[in-house]
Amino acid sequence: MPAPPCTVEPLMHQRLPNYYKIWHSNLMTNHQKSLASLLFAVVLTTVTPALWAALPGTDSQGNVLPTLAPMLDKATPAVVNISTRGRVRTEDNPLLQDPFFRRFFGAPDVMPRERATQSLGSGVIIDTAKGYVLTNNHVIAKAEEITVTLRDGRALTAKLVGTDPETDIAVIQIPTKNIVALPIADSEKLRVGDFVVAIGNPFGLGQTVTSGIVSALGRTGLGIEGYENFIQTDASINPGNSGGALVNLRGELVGINTAIYAPGGGNIGIGFAIPTNMARDIMRQLVEFGEVKRGRLGVQMQNLTPDLAKAFNIDKQQGAVISKITRGSAADKAGLEVGDIVTTVNGRSVNDATTIRTTVGLMRVGEKVNMGIIRNGKPRTITITLGEAEKVAAESIAPRLAGATLTPIEEGSPLYRRVEGMVVVNVEPGSPAWNATLRKDDVIISINRQPVRTLDELERTIKASGKRMLLNIRRGNNSLFIVIQ
């Protein structure tokens, strides 16, 4: 008779009970059985909690099966579903948002229309004492009502603690009665190939669990957020998973699921999560300040290419070249110069300009950063105390813009190198700027058709304007003009 076909051996953790049965077969002597029992006891006492979570259970017929259920029983109560409600203004023609143009074109002076918005996503409870829940900024953006549904079916009203659009992290707060939190792991210890599990609320179906491995670490340059340092995984992540948990086999949080690469519109096994170390640092600032007080260097950089390395007569193939330094910035005060080649930041090698931007962008104002550079072919180290992003109260330049606070577009912003202008970071309701329909996150591209990219250009252009200022504004994906008398 022909030999039976080959079979694939099960994983080691699936074979442990079989080993136990073999060791205790009738073919063994009593002495051998004693030694085998001792050896098996040693093995069991050295099994890690992660392996215990994946050890076989039994089905209703008593058959041995591998399972992650014990770990998930502890982890899933800490992952919540989030639903939001809000309202956004709509207008067929963005020009008609301006009262001057409505009068000019004879349009009725009516209140702008609004439409209701809804979103679904996920979140992770990380503090039972305070009721803090981590999620994505895009899950709760523009929300007027936030409802958190726990696995046991309870629906709780949440309040917003703070958001950081540049990393897509948000913190909300819920009542603390009978809630469970996920322990947080050190994401720096993750390795490619580690098993992970994604827990979330895809497509609004309800809590769903998928598994996979860590496919890559430190993914940047994707254009998803201003600051990127993603974990890539092939655990299925779909719409609605945003803000959910990526956990290891110990049931510890290692990432916040955020995005997928889906050129065809569906999941193809390339998902991205924000590492917990990054999310935790952002959360601490949001809890303490309600915002992220992000440190700024005040430089523009570009990647070190082979041609640039040759031109600078250095052997380095990785790093970043400083191409511009803002006058009076932290970099300027520390003595950095245009043409310096940055090779390390706080002792870590620099691969490209994005590495520096992400590292510095996650540090607070006032923190010190040690930067290894090459200048004129010689290495040196410079210590820099990070400064704040330069902001200006618009009323100090133009009383007609009183109530608005402006800042240039800097590295780390999703608009960097895509749009040139001044960002409105805040507008006080009822102020002259508010009454002129200027709003938070508007980008002033030009005034009286003169571009405004820096505070100097803004001040110079406003001083040169007459009684009327024509502002070209970018608002979301629309552009419009605002006339301020």
| Catalytic entry in 138, 215, 340, 352 | 138
Residue 168 catalytic? yes
Secondary structure string (H, E, C) spanning the chain: CCCCCCCCCCCHHHHHHHHHHHHCCCCCCHHHHHHHHHHHHHHHHHCCHHHHHHCEEECCCCCEEECCHHHHHHHHHHEEEEEEEEEEEECCCHHHHCHHHHHHCCCCCCCCEEEEEEEEEEEEEEECCCCEEEECHHHHCCCCEEEEECCCCCEEEEEEEEEECCCCEEEEECCCCCCCCCCECCHHHCCCCCEEEEEECHHHCCCEEEEEEEEEEEECCCCCCCCCCEEEECCCCCCCCCCCEEECCCCCEEEEEEEECCCCCCCCCCEEEEEHHHHHHHHHHHHHHCCCCECECCEEEEECCHHHHHHCCCCCCCCEEEEEECCCCHHHHHCCCCCCEEEEECCEECCCHHHHHHHHHCCECCCEEEEEEEECCEEEEEEEECECCCCEEHHHCCHHHCCEEEEECCCCCCCCCCCCCEEEEEECCCCHHHHCCCCCCCEEEEECCEECCCHHHHHHHHHHCCCCEEEEEEECCEEEEEEEC
Catalytic residue among 242, 329, 413, 446: 242
Q: Which of 168, 234, 352, 442 is catalytic?
A: 168
**Would you please indicate which residues are annotated as catalytic (active-site) residues?**
138, 168, 242
